[in-house]
Amino acid sequence: MRTCVEFVILSGPEAHDHLVAARDQLRSYLARQFPNYRFSLAAQEGEGMGFLVVPVVGTVGGDDHELATPQYSVLAEIRMALEAFAPTGATLH
């Protein structure tokens, strides 16, 4: 089974606005931290500024090529990197 290399980052509405404003910086930051992975941003409903990292392990109506779910430690590393991200000229926390 192939390894998951794509993730969707769900962020609370407050953090999401800041991340969208710093999208290019975030992409560069994540590419340096995790060169073998791809990331997309999406806002999650509700309140707060927390992050949820969702691995993309298949597609609806896909060709049955499911990917292996990444280890929890990989998800935790990505989340810690997101929490440490400090874009120039903006504050996430």
Residue 34 lies in a domain: yes
| pLDDT tens per residue, range 15-71 | 777 777 888 888 899 999 999 999 988 877 666 667 788 898 876 666 666 778 888
Residue 30 lies in a domain: yes
Q: Is the pTM of this model over 0.75?
A: yes
Residue 21 lies in a domain: yes
DSSP SS3 for 3: strand
DSSP SS3 for 55: strand
Range of the domain at 20: 1-48
Backbone φ and ψ for 55, nearest 5 degrees, come out as -75, 140
